[in-house]
Amino acid sequence: MARKTISRKTSDSARTGSTRKAPSGARKQESVLPGSRRPAPSKAANAKLRPWSAVEVKEAFERFQKANPQPQGELKHINPFTLLVAVVLSAQATDAGVNKATPALFAVADTPQKMVALGEERLIGFIKTIGLFRTKAKNVIALSKRLVEQHGGGVPHDRAALEALPGVGRKTANVVLNIAFGEPTIAVDTHIFRVGNRTGLAQGSTPLEVETKLETAVPDEYKLHAHHWLILHGRYVCKAPKPECWRCLIRDLCRWPDKNLNPVAR
Ligand code: SF4
């Protein structure tokens, strides 16, 4: 497929190397981002890469949309409550690991009332393969009780109410608002944090800084799915240790100076 080329120049002079310093600024259980193990930013977070123009940002998202018109999240869930639980369980764990545990759990507890009735010890039996399962079990039971007591057993369509739930921070609230309620939020996980910094699309030293820059840069028409496109791009193409630049849709737009253009170098 022929695609438009904006510019193949990159800020190659901005040599950045890589580090594994985690960003600060997350909260509660989300002190390390959910849906991830550790953010793996690079010195690009501190390097000044040439900013993207509005035309380039639009071009990048046009390509993402063309390649994947309806991107989906990868955490298995069957309703807003099970989505919320799955995201809470995904903190410092992989989606694949959470997806192995949750179908059996959600078969018996797909509402806050059923989760409270299940109880912490039996919940642990379902999620003990997931890291930090004891803390997460406490949070899931506590948030389920809160949903029953304060929200009639529903998941609130409200950021402040979501972030007030045990184990829920800004990133989890953004995922729920986006997937369950169709809000154009951008939940910055480890992949988006890395892609934002590495490409120069949205550089920041904290997830909130990256989120704020993406909010400003991404055209409204692409905001609903921007979160999924960027996560999937980071997970499967712009990978942490070795980005697969040779097959990257936005290679000509990306500012990363150390592009990996050789498939054999995997
Ligand atoms: S895969 Fe390579 S070219 Fe593509 S966004 Fe990542 S670093 Fe840039």
Q: Write the DSSP string, 160-223.
A: HHHHTSTT--HHHHHHHHHHTT--------HHHHHHHHHHSSS--SSHHHHHHHHHHHS-HHHH
What pLDDT shows up at residue 70?
A: 95
Whether residue 171 sits in one domain with residue 93: yes
Record the tokens describing residue 75, joined without a space.
Answer: 């955490």
Residues assigned a catalytic role = 171, 189
Distance 137 CA to ligand 1 centre (A): 37
Ligand 1 midpoint to CA 142 (Å): 41
**pLDDT for the residue numbered 40:** 47
- Tens of pLDDT, residue by residue, the chain (266 residues): 334 434 333 332 232 323 333 333 333 555 333 444 444 445 555 578 999 999 999 999 999 999 999 999 999 999 999 999 999 999 999 999 999 999 999 999 999 999 999 999 999 999 999 999 999 999 999 999 999 999 999 999 999 999 999 999 999 999 999 999 999 999 999 999 999 999 999 999 999 999 999 999 999 999 999 999 999 999 999 999 899 999 999 999 999 999 999 887 65
Q: What are phi and psi of 152, to 5 degrees?
A: 60, 25
Q: Where among 126, 153, 179 does a domain terminate?
A: 179
Answer positive or negative: Cα dihedral of 233, 54, 213, 261. Answer: positive
Provide the domain count of the chain. Answer: 2
User: Which of residues 179, 211, 236 is at a domain's end?
Assistant: 179
Question: Domain of 38?
Answer: 28-43+57-71+185-265
What pTM did the predictor assign?
A: 0.82
Last-in-domain residue among 144, 179, 214 = 179
Backbone angles phi, psi at 181, to 5 degrees: -120, 0
Whole-number pLDDT of residue 129: 97
153 burial type by CB count under 10 A (0-12 exposed, 13-18 middle, 19+ buried): middle
The 3-state DSSP class for residue 83 equals helix
**Same domain for 206 and 251:** yes
Residues 190 and 65 in one domain: yes
State the closest ligand 1 atom to the C-alpha of 249, by its place in the atom list counted from 1: 4
Decide if 6 is inside a domain: no
Structural domain contains residue 11: no
Whether residue 248 sits in one domain with residue 192: yes
Atom of ligand 1 nearest to the CA of 237: 1
171 with 86, same domain: the answer is yes
Same structural domain, 207 and 222: yes
Residue 155 forms part of a structural domain: yes
The Cα–Cα gap between 47 and 262 comes to 24
158: Cβ–Cβ under 8 A, 6 or more apart, which residues?
none
State the CATH number of the domain containing residue 214.
1.10.1670.10
For residues 94 and 174, membership in a common domain is answered with yes
Q: Which residues line ligand 1 (CB under 6 A)?
A: 198-199, 237-238, 243-245, 248, 250-251, 254, 256, 259
What's the confidence (pLDDT) of residue 45? Answer: 53
What is the Å distance from ligand 1's center to 247 Cα? Answer: 9
- CATH number for the domain that contains residue 112: 1.10.340.30
